[in-house]
Structure 1
Amino acid sequence: MNEDDCWTVIADQRRLTADLLDDLTEAERDSPSLCAGWRVRDVAAHVALAPQPPGPLTMAAEAIRAGGRFHRLNHDMAVRHADRPGADLVAELREHADSRRLPAVTNCRNILFDVMVHAQDIAIPLHRPLPMPVRAAAAGATRVWTMGWPFWARRRLTGVRLTATDTDWSAGDGAEVSGPIAALLMLLTGRRATLSQLTGPGVAGL
Structure 2
Amino acid sequence: MDRETSWKVIEQQRRAIADLLSDLTPEEWETPSLCTGWRVREVAAHVALTPQPPSPRVMLATGLRARGNYNRFIDILTRTHANQPTADLVSQLRTHAASQRLPSLTNYRNILFDTMVHGQDIAIPLGRTIDIAPEAAAAAADRAVEVGWPVWDKRRLDGIRLHATDIDWTHGTGQEIQGPIVSLLLLITGRTARLDDLSGDALPLAVSRLSTTP
TM-score when normalising by structure 1: 0.95
Residue aligning to 2:29: 29
Aligned 8 A contact 1:34 1:121 in 2: yes
Distance change in 2, residues 1:85/1:146 (3 Å):
closer
Deviates more, 1:195-204 or 1:92-101: 195-204
Residue aligned with 2:146, SS:
helix
Give the total of aligned pairs: 205
What is the Cα-based RMSD across aligned positions, in Å? 1.4
Aligned 8 A contact 2:160 2:173 in 1: yes
Residue aligned with 1:162, SS:
strand
**1:6-48 alpha-carbon deviations (Å, 9 max, x no partner):** 1000000000000110121111111110111101010000000
Question: Does residue 56 of the first structure (1) align with residue 56 of the second (2)?
Answer: yes
| Separation of aligned partners in 2, 1:130 and 1:180 | 15
Residue aligning to 1:132: 132
Gaps of 5+ in 2: 207-214
User: 1:1-206 maps to which residues of 2 (within 5 A)?
Assistant: 1-84=1-84, 88-149=88-149, 150-152=151-153, 155-206=155-206
Residue aligned with 1:45, SS:
helix
| Separation of aligned partners in 2, 1:29 and 1:3 | 32
Distance change in 2, residues 1:162/1:94 (3 Å):
same
Aligned 8 A contact 1:33 1:43 in 2: yes
| Separation of aligned partners in 1, 2:204 and 2:86 | 46
Distance change in 2, residues 1:85/1:140 (3 Å):
closer
Gaps of 5+ in 1: none
Distance change in 2, residues 1:180/1:40 (3 Å):
same
Aligned 8 A contact 2:177 2:199 in 1: yes
Distance change in 2, residues 1:48/1:202 (3 Å):
same
- How many percent of aligned residue pairs carry the same amino acid? 54
